[in-house]
Structures are given as structure tokens and as C-alpha cells.
């Protein structure tokens, strides 16, 4: 389905230019017209849209705001707007192009989308998270006459989601032109049924469609491209005779020598290039990236990959990314995954819906394992206007389309049929639905197990009435002891913690039980929506804040999950009792007070005791204040933090691990900050390639004259870019800020904020940040 993305992936792998193909895939993101309102008749080609806004996709119009307590999305939707949006795009085709089969592919439209070509209604898809396509053939105007593609997206009925879902055409769009005899979209399915050190068997299956008016005889050739992009092995051609208006399936086995395995630390990617030929002419070709790896879940020992037994150390991620909403540049995801990998995360649960296809491409390249989840509800609602309204009509179609889209990704090791489904108390209903979904999963991909995030299964008797045993891997949210008890009652069950808290006891339940294959923390990153109440617009449950920076809690997790020696420390402040005057008190729960501070600059400088927690996986940690030893502590067996009571005095607090073999061990320091003096700028990506998917996070940090971050500093910082760049968005870690993301200034929070900078073209950019009373120097970023 994603020919550009697939070919781009192979290019990243170092492939030389692929052979010229009769199939053409055109990026279709540029030059759309948009109106944030309903516009009856806008599907008609002659509708007047000159006054509409011109923009490029992907586009999430809701993230542009404003935040408003009265917005119908409520706290679940981050108090951001909902409504109807129209998109229109004009394009022309040559007479030759117009004679071919032409279809348009949407990776995701939020939500309830209707699509027209030249006034003809192509169809409607209610679920905003699935990818879909429409055949435009027969409805196009040839030559210089313009065609008009119109899309109406409607999420006006609210509440419709438990988290921020965005609005509009928020993922990529492509136009595909192919010969009438072509590979059926998403039909390629690559498996590796036999893997040995010396060789591996690659099985390639697919279907060829003949949409011409005559029978066609074609040959199928399969070439396996190695991780370096070069052809490893080519199959012997196979001949197919396809009647008109029919299709024919094919299967080919290709044996390759000395395969490179796809693994977490070596995510080697191959490609299966399939050509449809008539004589010497190539009618069509398509390529499916894949990885050669063997994985399985074992009831007694948990998860295995390529002969290694290890825990799935996972996090749950929603599809948005803070300041950019749901239209997420790929670099934003890459940066987030880099941070999570530093912590020790090796698995992602996409919660609670199919992700953008390029997110799975990224997990393939970076070596993350994925639980690919479909639904947050079945037929019983969680919101008045959520997917339960469409489940009966669309759930099997959406599941089939998603599995066929995602089944070649080596990162995907689990499918999930749903999260905390409220149908389960009705046993007969839940059994019928789950059996049907599992059948759809297995019929389209028999190589991967299916799970479900069961919620309070002891209440709905899922372990007693057979529902849990319809799953290949039993997943449960929270209550780890219940899951372990279910395994003990029936040791043949394979189990995974589909969703768990950050609590140490949840970690120990997995660590200390071999059958417990893994866990997925709620959540990996703070996310917009599911607010505890106004003024909060985001959830506080992440290891990372919504800018992608590590929160203090992340360092404790790193001490448990990382294999690299590390040490970090924080101040722990006892939480005060919640008060009716606290922000969010009138909501479901008060906004959680901060208790962990990554600084040695308390508000009170008078003599007092500070609780210092040290997170480390080192056998011993030594603490000192201004050079004076404060003692050493060994690594606790129960993974608890090492704690000191320290009499505060300004200066330098240092935690250090003893060195080995003459080399110093890891150490970490906190220093007391003085008065705010200047702004320091740093960029996470320099040089910065031009392009929509590329951004650099430029962090503006308020420091004292010695370069120490001033945590209480909160000036409004104005960003400016000179040269061929632009500030795409701004953000901070403050989940109660109602400042717009699409702006050039932001109030610092805990002494810092960020600007997302994009290069419009190659050339040098100078990024500056200014605030009243603070010195600063610009930062040069090379666009190339």
C-alpha cells in the first residue's frame, strides 16, 4: 500500500535505485485547500473554494486550538475543538495515466470521512485510525482537465474518545497508477517458515488482479533484496493465466544463504521485490520489506526471539505527540523512541488503535517489538459517539485491512483485539465477538498470536467461562497477581501484562516470574487528553513528558531495565493533602502534585532535611555533598531506591558508582542554581535535512552565570529563525498551559521550553531565543 514509504525504507538500507516500474506512486500531500466548517456542496468540482486556506498534509486542525473549557471534547479530548473540516485537491493526469488503474490511499482521516472524486461519492470510513483506499478509475478526466478530490471529515459529535484524537487528514495520502494487470494492494505476505544459521526459506505469497477485458498470461518473479539493497536471490518465474475481471494467487519459496536475523540490536531488513511480467515487459512490481526472525511465547518461560529468552519491557503510546498533535513528523517519533530505548524499553503497545504505517516502519528499523492493537471498545460504549456505533458493521473490515497492511512488519509480534472491553460481563456476546475477531486475525495472518487487554477478568469471570482461553496470549491490565494466579490455575496459558503501573511491585511480579513474558507501562509518554480536570489538558502518567524529555520517574525505570551501568538522583518532597482550591480538584481527581525534583535548588534555603533518592543498577553507590562523603549503599534486592536524609546546604550533591579496572564508574551531580542570567540553546538534530518529517528540537534553558539550570525561572521565551527555516511549534512540560502550540513563544517551565524547527530548504539557519533581562546567543543549524 505504501510504495513511497517502502521504497524509501529500502533507500535507507542502502539500496541502489530500483528498476523502473510500471506502477507509479505519487505523493499526494501538497496543495490542498481546507475549510474548518461544513460546506454543503463542496464535493462538486465547480464549488468556489478560493477563500479556503491552502496547506500541505498531514494536517491536524484541532491541535491549532484554542483550548477552551467549554469545548465538547472535554478533558478527554484535551479541551481542544471538534467539528467538521473539508479538504479539496485539484490534479491533472495525462491521457496515458488516465487510462491506467488509479487509486488513492489514505493512511488515516479523523473521523467519519466521506470522499468524492469529481462529485462521485467513493465511500465513507468512520474509524479514524485505519488506512483505506478508493479506486478512481472510470471517474477521472483525462488531459489538462482538472480532477477534484474532496474529503469531508466529521468529529463534531462529542465526546467520542477517551484521549486526544485530532481532526482532519492527519496522515499521508498517495495516488497510485498501475497497469490493469497488477498485484492486488496489500496482498503480498512474506513469511520465513524455516530459519537456520546456514540458510533460511522465504515464503512469498500474493495475488495478481486482471482488470482488463481479456485473459492474460503473466509470469511472476520474486527477488530477495538484502539489507544492503542488493539482490540476494531470484526465484524461477511462475506462470499464471488470469481470466478477465478475475485474480490469481501465487506462492514462491526462495532459499537464501547465511541470513542476517532481525533482532533488537541488529534490525536487519530484507525486501521481497515481486514483478509481474508479460514477455519482456514488466506490467507491475511491488516490494514488501520484511525481517528474518523467529519468535514465540512459551507458557513456562515467556517470550523468545531468535533463541533468546527475555522480558518484553514495554510502554503504551497514544498516537499524538504533544505540540504537533496527531500529524506527527517521523523525527518526533524517532526522538521519543531513542529516549525510551535509553531507559531500557524494547516494546511498544500502540494504544488503543492502529498506528500510522510509518511508525511501524520506524520500529522495524530501530528494533522495537510491537503489540498492534485494534479497538478501545466493541458494542458497549465508553463515550456516546465512539466506535461502538460502527462496530458491528465495520470491525471485521477494519481488522482485516489493518492486519493485511501490517503483517510484513518484523516488529509486530502481537495483535490485540481490544482494550478494557465492556462487553465482557455479557459472556455470550463477548465470546461471539472475540471468536469472530480472532478468526479475522488468524485468517489474514496465521503467524502471529492474538491477545486482548482484559480488565478485571475475575469480576466478569473471563478465566472461568473460557473467554480468556480464546486468546493465544492472555493479556490483563493491572492486578499482576490475578494474572499469575490464572497462569497457576492453568499452566498452559501464555501471559503478558498488557498494561501496568509504574509501581515497583508490578516490575517485581514480572521480574521474578519466568512465565510473565512482559509488561507495557501506562504510559510511556505524557499525552494530550484524559485530563484529571481543567486547567490540565494532558495526562501525567508518562516516563517522558509531552516534549519527549525524561521525567524523574524515568530514571528509576532505567535503573531496573537498562543493562548499562547508570546512576541518577532526585529530591523527593512529601505530597501535601489535596485541597478544593487545587487545579483540577473538581475533575475526576486532582492534578497530581509533583514530588520528585531533578535539582538541588529547593524553594527553602534555610536549614532543613532533604530526602534524596538515588536510582542506580550499580552494586554500590556513594553520595557526597560539597566533597564530604555521606556514605555508601548497596543495591537492594527488591529494586527499591537508595535513600539518604541530607541536611541541605548550597553546593554540589554527587552520586557515584565505584569504577572498575582503573576506569571511573558513572556519576551524577546536582548543583544549586543562582539567579537567572542567560538562555542557553541546544539542538537535538544538527544538521537538519529539509522535509516535513524532519524537525530539530531546540531547547531554551534558563541558567545562572555558572550554567546551572534555574528550575524556578519561568519567563516567556520568544524564538526566531533567520534563514531557510521556520518554528513549526513550541511546547514545554507544563500540562496545564493553554498557550497555543502553533506560535513562536512559550513560557518556560522548570527553567526550559522547546521550539520545533523545520528546514524549508538547504542553507544555514540562525535560531535565537530572547526573554526580558536574560542574555542569549543564537544557535546555527545547517539545513542539509
Strand, helix or coil at 356?
Answer: coil
HSE toward the beta carbon, residue 460, CA cutoff 13 A: 21
Q: How far apart are CA 475 and CA 500, in angstroms?
A: 11
* Given 43, 260, 499, 694, the catalytic residue: 499
Q: How far apart are CA 287 and CA 204, in angstroms?
A: 11
Q: How far is CA 758 from CA 173, 324, 329, 384, in A?
A: 21, 12, 10, 39
Residue ranges with strand state E in 1-83: 24-27, 32-35, 53-55
CA-based torsion, 382, 384, 386, 389: positive or negative? positive
Look up 420 and say whether it is catalytic.
Answer: yes
Look up 610 and say whether it is catalytic.
Answer: no
Contact 174, 27 (CB under 8 A): yes
Q: ∠ CA(41), CA(42), CA(43), 5° rounding?
A: 90
Length of the chain: 784
Q: How far apart are CA 156 and CA 54, in angstroms?
A: 22
Q: How many helices (H) and strands (E) does the chain have?
A: 10, 47
Q: ∠ CA(269), CA(275), CA(278), 5° rounding?
A: 175
Q: How far apart are CA 697 and CA 755, in angstroms?
A: 6
HSE toward the beta carbon, residue 622, CA cutoff 13 A: 12
Contact 372, 326 (CB under 8 A): no
* Given 420, 480, 613, 622, the catalytic residue: 420
Q: ∠ CA(631), CA(550), CA(571), 5° rounding?
A: 35
Contact 751, 711 (CB under 8 A): yes
Look at strands 24-27 and 450-454 and give their pairing.
Answer: unpaired
Contact 184, 135 (CB under 8 A): no
Q: How far apart are CA 410 and CA 267, in angstroms?
A: 9
**CB neighbour burial string for 269-290, b if at least 16 within 10 angstroms, e if fewer:** bbbbbbbbbeeeebbbbbbbbb
Q: How far is CA 663 from CA 184, 424, 622, 673, 711, in A?
A: 59, 57, 16, 30, 33
Contacts of 165 (CB under 8 A, 6+ apart): 77, 110, 111, 128, 155, 319, 320, 326, 529
Q: Which letter does DSSP use for residue 100 in this model?
A: S
DSSP string over 291-335: ----EEEETTTEEEETTEE--EEEEEE-S--GGGTTS--HHHHHH
**For residue 721, what are the β-bridge partners?**
767
Around Cβ 604, how many Cβ atoms within 10 Å? 8
User: Which of these, 164, 9, 45, 29, lies nearest to 106 by C-alpha position?
Assistant: 29
Strand, helix or coil at 218?
Answer: strand
Contacts of 276 (CB under 8 A, 6+ apart): 179, 181, 182, 183, 208, 218, 219, 220, 282, 283, 284, 285
- The rounded radius of gyration (Å) of the Cα atoms in the chain is 27
Q: ∠ CA(54), CA(56), CA(61), 5° rounding?
A: 80
Strand, helix or coil at 246?
Answer: strand
In sequence order, which ranges of 608-704 are alpha helices (DSSP H)?
A: none
- Active-site residues, by number, are 420, 499
Amino acid at each position: 500500500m505504501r510504495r513511497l514509504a517502502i521504497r524509501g525504507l529500502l533507500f535507507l538500507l542502502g539500496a541502489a535505485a530500483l528498476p523502473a516500474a510500471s506502477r507509479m506512486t505519487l505523493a499526494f500531500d501538497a496543495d490542498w485547500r481546507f475549510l474548518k466548517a461544513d460546506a454543503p456542496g463542496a464535493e462538486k468540482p465547480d464549488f468556489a473554494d478560493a477563500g479556503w486556506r491552502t496547506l500541505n498534509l498531514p494536517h491536524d486542525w484541532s491541535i491549532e486550538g484554542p483550548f477552551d473549557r467549554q469545548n465538547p471534547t472535554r478533558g478527554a479530548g484535551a479541551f481542544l475543538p471538534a467539528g467538521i473540516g473539508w479538504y479539496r485537491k485539484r490534479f491533472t493526469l495525462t491521457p496515458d495515466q488516465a487510462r491506467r488503474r488509479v487509486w488513492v490511499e489514505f493512511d488515516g482521516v479523523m473521523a467519519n470521512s466521506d470522499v468524492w472524486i469529481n462529485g462521485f461519492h467513493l465511500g465513507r470510513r468512520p474509524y479514524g485510525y485505519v488506512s483505506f483506499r478508493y479506486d478512481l478509475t472510470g471517474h477521472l478526466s483525462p488531459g489538462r482537465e482538472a480532477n477534484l478530490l474532496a474529503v469531508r471529515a466529521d468529529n463534531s459529535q462529542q465526546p467520542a474518545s477517551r484521549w486526544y484524537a485530532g481532526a482532519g487528514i492527519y496522515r499521508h495520502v498517495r495516488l497510485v497508477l498501475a497497469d490493469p494487470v497488477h498485484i492486488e494492494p496489500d496482498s503480498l505476505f512474506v513469511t520465513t517458515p524455516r530459519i537456520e544459521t546456514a540458510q533460511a526459506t522465504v515464503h512469498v505469497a500474493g495475488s495478481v488482479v486482471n482488470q482488463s477485458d481479456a485473459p492474460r498470461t503473466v509470469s511472476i518473479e520474486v527477488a530477495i533484496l538484502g539489507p544492503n539493497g542488493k539482490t540476494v536471490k531470484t526465484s524461477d518465474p511462475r506462470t499464471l493465466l488470469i481470466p478477465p475481471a478475475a485474480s490469481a494467487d501465487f506462492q514462491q519459496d526462495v532459499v537464501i544463504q547465511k541470513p542476517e536475523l532481525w533482532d533488537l540490536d541488529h534490525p536487519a531488513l530484507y525486501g521481497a521485490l515481486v514483478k509481474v511480467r508479460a514477455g519482456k515487459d514488466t506490467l507491475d512490481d511491488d516490494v514488501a520489506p520484511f525481517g528474518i526472525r523467529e519468535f514465540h511465547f512459551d507458557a513456562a518461560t515467556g517470550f523468545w526471539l531468535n533463541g533468546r529468552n527475555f522480558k518484553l519491557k514495554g510502554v503504551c503510546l497514544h498516537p499524538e505527540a504533544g505540540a504537533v498533535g496527531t500529524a506527527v513528523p517521523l523525527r518526533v517519533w524517532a526522538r521519543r523512541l531513542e529516549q525510551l530505548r535509553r531507559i531500557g524499553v524494547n516494546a511498544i503497545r500502540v494504544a488503543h488503535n492502529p498506528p500510522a504505517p510509518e511508525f511501524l516502519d520506524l520500529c522495524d528499523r530501530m528494533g522495537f517489538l510491537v503489540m498492534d492493537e485494534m479497538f478501545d471498545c466493541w458494542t458497549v460504549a465508553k463515550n456516546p459517539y465512539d466506535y461502538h456505533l460502527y462496530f458491528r458493521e465495520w470491525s471485521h473490515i477494519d481488522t482485516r485491512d489493518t492486519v493485511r497492511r501490517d503483517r510484513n512488519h518484523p516488529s509486530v509480534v502481537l495483535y490485540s483485539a481490544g482494550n478494557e472491553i465492556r462487553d465482557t460481563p455479557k459472556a455470550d456476546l463477548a465470546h461471539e465477538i472475540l471468536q469472530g475477531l480472532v478468526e479475522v486475525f488468524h485468517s489474514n495472518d496465521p503467524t502471529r498470536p492474538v491477545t486482548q487487554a482484559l480488565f478485571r477478568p475475575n469480576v466478569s469471570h473471563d478465566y472461568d467461562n473460557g473467554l480468556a482461553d480464546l486468546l493465544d496470549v492472555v493479556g490483563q491490565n493491572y492486578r499482576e497477581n490475578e494474572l499469575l494466579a490464572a497462569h497457576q490455575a492453568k499452566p498452559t496459558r501464555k501471559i503478558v501484562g498488557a498494561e501496568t503501573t509504574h509501581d515497583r511491585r508490578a516490575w517485581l511480579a514480572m521480574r521474578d516470574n519466568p512465565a510473565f513474558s512482559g509488561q507495557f507501562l501506562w504510559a510511556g509518554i505524557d499525552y494530550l487528553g484524559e485530563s484529571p480536570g481543567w486547567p490540565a489538558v494532558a495526562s501525567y502518567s508518562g516516563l517522558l513528558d509531552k516534549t519527549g524529555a525524561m521525567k524523574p520517574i524515568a530514571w528509576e525505570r532505567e535503573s531496573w531495565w537498562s543493562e548499562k551501568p547508570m546512576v541518577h538522583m532526585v529530591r523527593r518532597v512529601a505530597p501535601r493533602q489535596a485541597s478544593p482550591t487545587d487545579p483540577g480538584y473538581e475533575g475526576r481527581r486532582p492534578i497530581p502534585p509533583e514530588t520528585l525534583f531533578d535539582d538541588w535548588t529547593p524553594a527553602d534555603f534555610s536549614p532543613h532535611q532533604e530526602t534524596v533518592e538515588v536510582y542506580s543498577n550499580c552494586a554500590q553507590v556513594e553520595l557526597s555533598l560539597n566533597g564530604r562523603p555521606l556514605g555508601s549503599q548497596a543495591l537492594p534486592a527488591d529494586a527499591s531506591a537508595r535513600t539518604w536524609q541530607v541536611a541541605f546546604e548550597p553546593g554540589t550533591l554527587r552520586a557515584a558508582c565505584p569504577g572498575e579496572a582503573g576506569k571511573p564508574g558513572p556519576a551524577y551531580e546536582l548543583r544549586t542554581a543562582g539567579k537567572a542570567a542567560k538562555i542557553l540553546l541546544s539542538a537535538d538534530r544538527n544538521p537538519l535535512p529539509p522535509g516535513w518529517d524532519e524537525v530539530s528540537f531546540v531547547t531554551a534553558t534558563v541558567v545562572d552565570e555558572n550554567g546551572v539550570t534555574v528550575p524556578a525561572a519561568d519567563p516567556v521565551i520568544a524564538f526566531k529563525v533567520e534563514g531557510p527555516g521556520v518554528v513549526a511549534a513550541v511546547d514545554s512540560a507544563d500540562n496545564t498551559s493553554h498557550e497555543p502550540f502553533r506560535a513562536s513563544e512559550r513560557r518556560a517551565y522548570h527553567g526550559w521550553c522547546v521550539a520545533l524547527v523545520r528546514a524549508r530548504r538547504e542553507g544555514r539557519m540562525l535560531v535565537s531565543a530572547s526573554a526580558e533581562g536574560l542574555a542569549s546567543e543564537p544557535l546555527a543549524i545547517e539545513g542539509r
